[in-house]
A = this chain, B = another copy of it.
Amino acid sequence: MSMQPFLVENRGILLAYDQGLEHGPTDLNERNVDPAFIMRLAADGKFTGLVFQKGIAEKYYDGKVPLVLKVNGKTNLVKGEPVARQICSVQHAAEIGAKAVGYTIYIGSAHESLMLEEFGRIQEEAHRLKMAAIAWIYPRGEAIKNDTAPEIVAYAARTGLEVGADAVKIKYTGEVESFRWAVKSAGKTRVFMSGGPKAPSEADFLKQVRGALDAGATGLAVGRNVWQSADPIKMARALRTLVVENRSVEEAVRA
């Protein structure tokens, strides 16, 4: 299925807002705790896509920005090998108006096979309903020492291709060269860099994004680095300049 609904100039910037479930409201403040704020930000900031869990989509989604419905999730309160099962049916995601479903697979977890199987079913169902299937692939579990090591990130990217994801969301390795290998490993599966926790400075973050793009990434999924920013619209503009207009970090900062 196509990622076209989420692309402008063949690039994409997804505004991610599922942290309320994944990390809890400690990630949020008085302003961005309100999904309505995020809805406006997505439209005003010209994001090419928006990522919600079903509850927020049902109550706040207005259709202005294409929606990725995250169909599994978990809290960070649980210890042990990670697992997140399906919370939202693909059919329901379609009824809410989503153009894609998102699903997290913790490769390396003792529960990996359960998530690979579930993603397998979801991907087929999504395609039948003409929706894209995006895999968040996060290496975890006792065997994973460093989840941004180049060979681990490339493995995550490749897993996305092998299991039939239309796009894969993975962490940045820190360098263009090693990330280029990850992108190459993903083949025709589009690569979105994971925004991750708030970076020390805006420029630091934009440099990472630039690196990912130079390595061949289609774009990024970003949350905290936008909506925890003092001026989210300015950050959105910077990202748009960098990603969609394909400019330099310097031009993006000045945008």
B-binding residues in A (CB < 8 A): 18, 20-21, 24-26, 28, 30, 33-35, 53-56, 58-60, 73-75, 77-80, 83-89, 92, 107-110, 112-114, 116-117, 119-121, 124, 139, 141-144, 151-152, 154-155, 157-165, 181, 184-185, 187-189
Contacts and interface: CB of A to CB of B under 8 A. Distances in A.
A67 to B, nearest CB: 15
Contact of A184 (B30, B142, B157): B30
A50 B60 CA distance: 29
Stoichiometry, copies per complex: 5
6 residue pairs, one from A and one from B, having the closest CB atoms = A77-B108, A87-B120, A55-B164, A24-B155, A21-B162, A85-B117
Contacts of A113: 74, 78, 83-85
A15 to B, nearest CB: 16
Contacts of A143: 77-79
B108 A75 contact: yes
A128 to B, nearest CB: 9
Nearest to A128: B92
A160 B75 CA distance: 12
Nearest to A36: B187
A255 to B, nearest CB: 32
Contacts of A165: 55
Contact of A78 (B35, B108, B187): B108
Given A59-B188, A88-B120, A162-B18, A75 B154 contact: no
A152 to B, nearest CB: 8
A189 B59 contact: yes
Nearest to A80: B110
Contacts of A88: 120, 124, 164
A53 B252 CA distance: 40
A209 to B, nearest CB: 23
A86 B25 CA distance: 28
A159 B75 contact: yes
Contacts of A77: 107-108, 112, 139, 141, 143-144, 152, 155
